[in-house]
Amino acid sequence: MDIRKNSGKTFSFNRLNFLEGKGVSIGYVQDDAQNEAELTLGLGFRGTFWYVNPDLGDDTSNTGLSWDSPFATMSKAFTSLDSGDTVFFYGKVKEQLTCPVQKFDVTIVGASNRPRHADAAPVGSEYGATWTTPAVEAATTPLVKVMQQGWRFVNILFAGPSNSASVLLFRDGGAGNAERDASHAEIIGCRFASGKNGIESSGGAYNVGIYDCSFHDLTDYAIKHTAGAGIAASYRWQIKGNRFQGNAKWIDTFNGNSWEITDNVVVKTTTPGLVTSGGTGGNAIVRNVFNIAAADFDPAGGFTGHATDVWSNYLTDAIETGLPAN
């Protein structure tokens, strides 16, 4: 079904099916008796649905509550939404925004079949869902700075700024209503196609999930960490089923614990190393595929684990289990 025009119960996205009011179906599993059970991720579709179309929308006269009356800008949607709301968009969003504060569990969905460029030609290409910089970018400003917990981004092509991240997960040392904390974010089925960094965590966001995304042609880290003003350590992240291709670097050194980095493909990366030794360990780096030989998959090659980690990965000439060692 076409989510731009249909209000039925199931919306198809790529390998993910959105079930209205239920969540996102990511497949099926079978038990020994061949009984099937559907696997879903809850999407929290409990609030208002907002709609954005930069080509056909209007921030002044439209309500933003249907595809027949969409907003023109994501900024207008951000000033209108509340916690638990969902924003659907297609076309090319050209904005660098900070998410509203004290708004939680918001979902932003690109309404195209796959995360691709929304081009002006040929006619029809505008149905892609792209988030990129304005014509005159603020080079050191992310496309979107997340300030509160539980935000989710789905099926969006991000073409980021030249000297910042597409998505910045921000955490500070504030308390009470002044706390800014982008923990519990999820990024699902997105594509990070250009810019400096794909995703950056500043201040130690907690329990972040990055699933089924593609990172390519980034000039620095695909996933970057900076200490910032928060707790400085990123705990219990899940980075699963992603593709990292043609980036300068892979994942920045982090002081965290209990990460799951599994089932990813890392190829054609200039500096593909990963250092997890600075935290308290308990990380699982398993079933990842690297176009690196076993002789180079070691501290000298940029890979260093914590003593309590579990590592087991596919290399070009071996399946290597155990901490990387020279």
pLDDT digits (tens, 9 = 90+) for 98-138: 999 999 999 999 999 999 998 888 887 888 999 999 999 99
Tell me, what's the pLDDT at 11? 39
Q: Are the C-beta atoms of 118 and 129 separated by less than 8 Å? A: yes
The sign of the torsion formed by the CA atoms of 46, 152, 112, 70 equals positive
Q: How far is CA 242 from CA 239, 261, 319, in A?
A: 7, 10, 19
Tell me, what's the pLDDT at 9? 37
Q: Which domain holds residue 223?
A: 44-272
Say if 22 falls within a structural domain.
Answer: no
Cα separation, 152 vs 212, whole angstroms: 13
Per DSSP bridges, beta strands 23-30 and 16-19 are antiparallel
Please state, for a pLDDT cut of 70, what percent of the chain lies above it: 85
Cα separation, 52 vs 43, whole angstroms: 19
Of all helices (H) and strands (E), which one includes residue 187?
strand 186-188
pLDDT digits (tens, 9 = 90+) for 170-205: 999 788 999 999 999 999 999 999 999 999 999 999
Tell me, what's the pLDDT at 7? 39
CATH code for position 104: 2.160.20
Per DSSP bridges, beta strands 274-275 and 249-251 are unpaired
Say if 158 falls within a structural domain.
Answer: yes
26: confidence class by pLDDT, cuts 50, 70, 90: very low
Say if 113 falls within a structural domain.
Answer: yes
Cα separation, 51 vs 229, whole angstroms: 34
Say if 29 falls within a structural domain.
Answer: no
Measured CA angle at 260 (ends 232, 152), to 5 deg: 70
Mean per-residue pLDDT, 61-74: 98
Average pLDDT, the chain: 87
Tell me, what's the pLDDT at 144? 98
Say if 33 falls within a structural domain.
Answer: no
3-state secondary structure of 76: helix
Per DSSP bridges, beta strands 49-52 and 97-98 are unpaired
Say if 112 falls within a structural domain.
Answer: yes
Counted domains in the chain: 1
Tell me, what's the pLDDT at 25? 52
Cα separation, 230 vs 223, whole angstroms: 18
Say if 87 falls within a structural domain.
Answer: yes
153: confidence class by pLDDT, cuts 50, 70, 90: very high
Please state, for a pLDDT cut of 90, what percent of the chain lies above it: 73
